[in-house]
Amino acid sequence: MKTETTEILKQYNENLQNYERLAEDVEYELIKSIKKHHIKTHAISHRIKDPNSLLDKVRRKKLKKPFEQIHDIVGFRIVCLFLPDLQEINKIIHEVFEVFEEDDKINNSELNIFGYMSLHLKCRIIAKKLNENTEQNIPFEIQIRTIAQDAWAAISHYLDYKKESVIPEQLKRDFHALSGLFYVADTHFSIIRQEQSNIYFEKNEKSTTNQFT
């Protein structure tokens, strides 16, 4: 066991610089391509998994080849404003990166189930774009969520609502209900944006029409 740990840490440290370069490159690419599509985001950030949580995961999941089996050593989070942005950003990411796994914890669950909502993509840099000396085909994970989904996730993570021992059933139900409440807020904001944009176009059409009368 000890040798294994040492070996993992050794490899992690050897890769660290590559992780950091990858993080910077991908974040730059994300910001640029999302901006190009005129989508306003609330936050784009990254983190490199610290060695302790890497080792934890290896032990917990009894992984034999951690650097092939763990895909979120380099992780990104994109917090957007509106529900429909999620799919737009998803599409952009499919264009700029190779997505080898997709987990949609928003639309893939049953219609009546509410809880953690986020869109997770496991990606790699597209081969021909690879910067020779660096990224060595390292996988990375991108999480996309709205700001309301992020609020729920952050608070739930803090309260650790999953711990069986600590929270009574009734409070757990409250948690999930609050996810429903945030979902209502999210769809409501989208509707307002839609209506606002309809009004704007109507006005513009009218004024365009008026120009020629």
Regarding 43 and contact with a copy of itself (CB under 8 A), the answer is yes
51, 53, 56 from 12: Cα distances, Å: 7, 12, 14
For 85-110, the DSSP string reads HHHHHHHHHHHHEEEEEEEETTTSS-
Least distance between a copy of itself and beta carbon 149 (Å): 9
Written as six digits, the tokens of 144 are: 């996309």
> In the complex with a copy of itself, which residue's Cβ is closer, 32 or 42?
42
- The letter for the amino acid at 158 is Y
Among 115, 122, 124, 134, binds a copy of itself (CB under 8 A): 115
* Edge-to-edge order in the sheet of strand 119-125: 41-48, 74-80, 140-146, 119-125, 97-104
> In the complex with a copy of itself, which residue's Cβ is closer, 125 or 149?
149
Q: From 89, 94, 90, select the one nearest 37 (Cα to Cα).
A: 89
Regarding 82 and contact with a copy of itself (CB under 8 A), the answer is yes
Least distance between a copy of itself and beta carbon 179 (Å): 7
Q: Which of residues 137-176 bind a copy of itself (CB under 8 A)?
A: 147-148, 150-151, 154-155, 158-159, 166-176
Strand partners, 44: 78
Written as six digits, the tokens of 26 are: 């991908």
Q: Which of residues 94-113 bind a copy of itself (CB under 8 A)?
A: 110-113
Chain residues that interact with a copy of itself, rule: CB under 8 A: 40, 42-43, 81-82, 110-115, 147-148, 150-151, 154-155, 158-159, 166-185, 187-189, 191-193, 195-196, 199-200
